[in-house]
Chains A and B, each alone.
Chain A
Amino acid sequence: MSDLLTVENLTAGYGQAGVLRGISLRVGENEAVGLLGPNGHGKTTLLRCVSNLHRPTSGTITFAGRSTAGRSPRDLVRSGLIHVPQGSRLFPQLTVEEALRLSAASSGHAGSWRDSLDRVYSVFPRLKERRRQLTGTLSGGERQMASLGMGLMAQPTLLILDEPTLGLSPKVKHELSECIVRVRAEVSSIILVDGDMELVLDLTDRYHVVLHGDVVDSGASDDERSRDEMMSLFLGGAADERH
């Protein structure tokens, strides 16, 4: 399988504090990759580097055969790399439909926005009900749906989802995970980061565990044994933090 995204020896941080320590990973075409790991170990930082919101200190990132160094987020969006950020408050004064349309237009798909809209509404029927509502007044679950919907409107090749179920109740989480299954069918490749380990493993082909800014464990998501190992890794990582 050829790689859509490769990250090699990436280091990054904020000021003096190092966050990523030479992390490497790859995402193939038609592949869903999960990232797991405790809070604050650099998952979001990695994704922000991938979409060029944050500049890494060293290392290389290649997307669809081209280096991403020095390219604008807009350029990456237009080549199909779409990042749905963690905990976005969206655009409080825009309606759901305005936001969806904006995403199609600014990613260079203004012409086909109506078709995309129909597809998004079939994946997220709730968004259709709420289409005239301001995104600032949506519930947490609806906001995540709108955020994912905006991602789909941009016609991604690689869709990056950072904590789509953060802060949602189990019931809403379940509803959303069913939506993500449908999203999965719409795009070639996905990176999924989420605190819910079961959900990540259910929805992806492979997983990586990120600890202290590096991958410490990888495997196939349907491997039963790996789940137990991961629990102990997580607990080990959390124990580290106490020192």
Chain B
Amino acid sequence: MSGISVIATSTLVLGGLYLLMAAGLTLIWSTLRVFNFGHGALLMFGAYLTWTLLNTTGLPLIVSLAGAVVAMAALGAVYEFLLVSPFIKRPNGDMLVMVATLAATMLLQSGAQLIWGPELKQLPPFGGARVDVAGSVVQGTQLVTIVLAPLLVGLLALVLRRSSIGLTVRALEQNREHAQLLGIPPRRVYLFVVMVAVGFATVAGALLGSMQFMSPAMGSDPLLRAFVVLAFGGAGSLAGTIAGAYAIGLLEAVTTYYFGLSWSPVLVFLAMIVIMLVKPEGLLHTRVRSA
């Protein structure tokens, strides 16, 4: 493979994974005004759950993933019920929720350690399709990631734009108080966004678990990258998130190619610091909204 096509492929693969993570985080941020620290652990849990479904039921991988997405969305509802709604309406509720999601990370990681043990596990490749691009071959999970991630996020964008639940989500994120006065139930919107976000994280987890070994900490790196994406894209905007995800993917692909795997994270975070200096409003900030 030539340098260009290696970089292009890993940009699209990494960008796709970060997009799946960051789109959910953005959705949660823009409606709930909290950063979900548990998102990485949820990704991990989704990956393991896919593995279990695959190995206990013998269903095809893609069906196991679909099952895991449904199960994880249900877990997302529990997550919202236990960690978000008891705290969000209190004074300083956003801080309480964020601490609760940190606690959830510990719980999910320890839980995974207990349930699935320390031995290494990996999911098989997602299909055997292959494409030749400029003399190099992209196949299996990489190809699926490149196609599936923008497809799912595009679908989400369409739902937000066109459907009635999408309209209520946008209304709540633009003016929470007035939205309530129109009769929009915040709880239902929160439930919806958390379930969608957890479903996306599960897909990202299964894709990642098929490209590398799974571990209880496998979500930490994607979570950090998704955080950078949010900082870069200006949290709350899906368009910014899409641009941010592929920009970080490109940055990571280029730095890995030229400087190696160990330097890449340093350079990515350095880039984030520069971005924050130049464009401070990018970091977890959207337009000022009325109370």
Could you tell me which A residues sit within 8 Å of B by CB distance? Answer: 51, 53, 72-74, 77-78, 82-85, 87-94, 98-99, 101-103, 105-108, 110, 150, 154
Contacts and interface: CB of A to CB of B under 8 A. Distances in A.
Given A98-B167, A105-B164, A88 B182 contact: no
Interface in B155-214: 164, 167-168, 170-171, 174-175, 177-185
B290 interface: yes
B170 A88 contact: no
A18 B177 CA distance: 22
Given A74-B185, A102-B167, A106-B168, A88 B178 contact: yes
B170 A93 contact: yes
Contacts of A106: 168, 171, 182-184
Q: Main secondary structure on chain B at its contact with chain A?
A: helix
A118 to B, nearest CB: 20
A91 B174 CA distance: 5
Given A74-B183, A85-B178, A154-B182, A91 B170 contact: yes
Nearest to A76: B183
B170 A74 contact: no
A106 B182 CA distance: 6
A102 B184 CA distance: 9
Contacts of B164: 105, 110
Given A88-B175, A88-B290, A89-B175, A103 B182 contact: yes
Interface in B248-291: 287, 289-290
A68 to B, nearest CB: 14
B183 A53 contact: no
B180 A108 contact: no
Nearest to B174: A91
